[in-house]
């Protein structure tokens, strides 16, 4: 248990579906992140929320839409995905301004069919 | 842009062998350095980190890493590996000020009896 909980753990969706990934952190952190982990590629930063405001969006396709309603919750809304979007999606949190590392959830394994 | 290079994609060692995994980063400023480990089916967890001070950092489970500023390197070492060290190892960097972590591609370590 890392203090960062992601649901669901596994998700299979069709290309026309709409689904959402959820992340919740119980560590009192004020920054949250979405990373994508694909086979044989570096972990890719997708979105950063610091103090509930989006501060970075690394040119992620618009079919991925993040939402951060408060400092403890982070969502990733998915719609009209492609098979190449199949990957492990990791949520992480950290404390802005502190010499602290990021804590990761266990990830959601997404398969787009 | 920052980048992190991990030289080995897959390393296979016998138990009790010594381990060194390479990590180089490309950023000229002041950085924080991390090694994360991901055991099969588990979340990413911090192995060790360097922020300042003694460039030789000791982490959990007998791992250590040495920051060599002139070489932009932060190699991970362990004198004697165990079967339970089989995992994927990720080097990560961020700039001072708690910017998001940038990860290398990871190195898969397989330890055989």
Measuring CA to CA, which residue among B75, B86, B69 is closest to residue B48?
A: B75
pLDDT of residue B97: 64
Say whether pLDDT at B29 is over 90: no
CA–CA distance, A40 with A47 (Å, rounded to integer): 21
Residue range B22-34: average pLDDT?
89
Tell me whether residues A40 and B105 touch, CB distance under 8 A.
yes
Q: Which two tokens stand for residue A11?
A: 């998700």
Residue range B31-51: average pLDDT?
91
pLDDT of residue A101: 83
Say whether pLDDT at B68 is over 80: yes
Q: Say if CB B55 and CB B68 are below 8 A apart.
A: yes
Residue range B103-108: average pLDDT?
91
pLDDT of residue B40: 87
Q: Which two tokens stand for residue A49?
A: 């929320």
Measured between CB atoms, which of B9, B46, B103 is closest to A43?
Answer: B103
B100 touches chain A (CB under 8 A): yes
Tell me whether residues B104 and A104 touch, CB distance under 8 A.
no
pLDDT of residue A97: 65
* pLDDT tens digit at each of 113 positions of chain A: 669 999 999 999 999 899 999 999 999 998 999 999 988 777 888 999 987 788 777 789 999 999 999 999 999 999 999 999 999 999 999 887 666 688 999 999 999 99
Q: Say if CB A113 and CB A13 are below 8 A apart.
A: yes
pLDDT of residue A11: 96
pLDDT of residue A99: 61
Tell me whether residues B90 and A105 touch, CB distance under 8 A.
no
Measured between CB atoms, which of A2, A45, A97 is closest to B98?
Answer: A97
Q: Say if CB B48 and CB B66 are below 8 A apart.
A: no
User: Per-residue pLDDT tens for B89-100?
Assistant: 999 988 776 677
Which of the two residues, A60 and B27, has the higher pLDDT score?
A60
CA–CA distance, A66 with A49 (Å, rounded to integer): 9
Residue range B63-69: average pLDDT?
96
Say whether pLDDT at B41 is over 90: no
Which residue has 């199949």 as its token pair? A86
Q: How many CB atoms lie within 10 A of CB B98?
A: 19
pLDDT of residue B25: 94
B39 touches chain A (CB under 8 A): no
End-to-end CA distance of chain A: 30
pLDDT of residue A1: 62
Residues of A in contact with B44 (CB under 8 A): 90, 92, 104
B70 touches chain A (CB under 8 A): no
Q: Give the whole-number percent of chain B exceeding pLDDT 70.
A: 97
pLDDT of residue A98: 60
Which residue has 């009209």 as its token pair? A80
Among B39, B41, B43, pick the best mutation site for testing chain A contact (most A Cβ within 10 A): B43
Which residue has 């992340």 as its token pair? A23
Share the mean pLDDT of chain B: 92
Measuring CA to CA, which residue among A16, A12, A58 is closest to residue A34?
A: A58
User: Per-residue pLDDT tens for B70-84?
Assistant: 999 999 999 999 999
B73 touches chain A (CB under 8 A): no
Q: How many CB atoms lie within 10 A of CB B107?
A: 21
Q: Which residues pair with A94 in a beta bridge?
A: A31
Which of the two residues, B42 and B88, has the higher pLDDT score?
B88
């Amino acid at each position: 248990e890392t203090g960062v909980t992601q649901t669901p753990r596994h998700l299979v969706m069709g290309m026309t579906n709409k689904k959402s990934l959820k992340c919740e952190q119980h560590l009192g952190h004020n920054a949250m992140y979405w990373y994508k982990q694909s086979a044989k590629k570096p972990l890719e930063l997708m979105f950063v929320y610091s103090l509930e405001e989006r501060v970075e969006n690394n040119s992620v396709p618009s079919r991925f839409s993040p939402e951060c309603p408060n400092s403890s919750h982070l969502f990733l809304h998915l719609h009209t995905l492609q098979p190449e979007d199949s990957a492990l999606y990791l949520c992480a949190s950290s404390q802005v301004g502190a010499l602290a590392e990021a804590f990761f959830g266990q990830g959601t394994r997404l398969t787009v069919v | 842009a920052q980048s992190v290079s991990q030289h080995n994609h897959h390393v296979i060692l016998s138990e009790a062998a010594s381990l060194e995994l390479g990590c180089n980063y490309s950023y000229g400023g002041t950085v924080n350095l991390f090694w994360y480990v991901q055991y099969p089916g588990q979340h990413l967890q911090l192995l060790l980190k360097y922020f300042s001070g003694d460039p030789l950092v000791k982490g959990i489970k007998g791992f250590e890493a040495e920051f060599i500023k002139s070489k932009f390197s932060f190699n991970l070492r362990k004198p004697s590996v165990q079967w339970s060290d089989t995992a994927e190892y990720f080097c990560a960097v961020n700039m001072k000020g708690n910017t998001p972590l940038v990860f290398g591609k990871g190195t898969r370590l397989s330890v055989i009896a």
